[in-house]
Amino acid sequence: MNALLLAAGFGTRLRPLTDHTPKCLVEVNGRPLLDYWLQDLHAAGVIEFVINTHHLAETVRSYVTQHALAPSITLVHEDHILGTAGTLLANADFLKRGTTLVAHADNLCFCPWVEFFRSHQDRPTNTWMTMMTFRSAIPRECGIVEIDKKGIVQGFHEKVANPPGNLANAAVYLIEPEMTEMILQMGDGVNDLSTQVLPCLLGKIFTWENHQTLIDIGSPERLALAQNICQSQQTEK
């Protein structure tokens, strides 16, 4: 199992904090977000990591080169941000090696990773990826999915005013080489995974619901929420 962690974004809603700190290195309970991903995924069996960079790339590079898992990490710099699908295209050779986890490293995610990986191994036939989902308290701000009885996606509703439910795309995926081949066939004009690629994969996407924690650290309020959750978990231990 390998992982592609997306870490190129500007984190504009967290300014001025992200003027000097990459969003993926914003600390939650004293640990950079990126460290949660690296340590938790490595413990669950991920062997090799690719991380894309753009905003404050040298700061990310300095952090990664001193990380305990540095020998397992490859940084790929984007002179201009390619978008989620664009980054997949740029790293197609890495993705073709086998099952790859793709996730935004500037979110906070706690879950039983081995269970998530196992669900992908046991997914229905003829599905090319497994999408992590969660129950959103504000579904209009998320990409909401409709699934059938087998847990396969049948519809998408990307940030609409009145979505038909609250089961949201967590933007954490386990993908197979077949999906990478399909994106390559779509051509260079494809740059957004949520709006351009996923709607073309209805019936090909299995889902797994995360019942623990998924927080988009996109604003000071969301960052404060993540801090509170981590501190509460630490206190419980």
Residues 198/156, Cβ–Cβ less than 8 Å: yes
Note down pLDDT in tens along the chain; length 237 residues. Answer: 899 999 999 988 889 888 999 999 999 999 999 999 999 999 999 999 999 999 999 999 999 999 999 999 999 999 999 999 999 999 999 999 999 999 999 899 999 999 999 999 999 998 999 999 999 888 888 889 999 999 999 998 888 888 888 999 999 999 999 989 988 988 778 888 988 999 999 999 999 999 999 988 888 988 998 888 888 775 555
Residue 219: the pLDDT is 87
pTM: 0.92
Residues 88/102, Cβ–Cβ less than 8 Å: yes
Task: Match 């540095």 to its residue by tokens.
Answer: 70
Residue 234: the pLDDT is 58
Task: Match 């300095």 to its residue by tokens.
Answer: 62
Residue 93: the pLDDT is 93
Residue 235: the pLDDT is 57
Distance CA 135, CA 149 (A): 17
Residue 74: the pLDDT is 97
Q: Say how far residue 118 (Cα) sits from the centre of its chain.
A: 18
Residues 72/47, Cβ–Cβ less than 8 Å: yes
Choosing among 3.40.50.1000, 3.90.25.10, 3.30.750.210, 3.90.550.10, the CATH entry for 2-132+169-236 is 3.90.550.10
Residue 173: the pLDDT is 97
User: Residue 97 has which token pair?
Assistant: 């090696």
- Would you kindly state where each structural domain of the chain is located, as residue ranges? 2-132+169-236
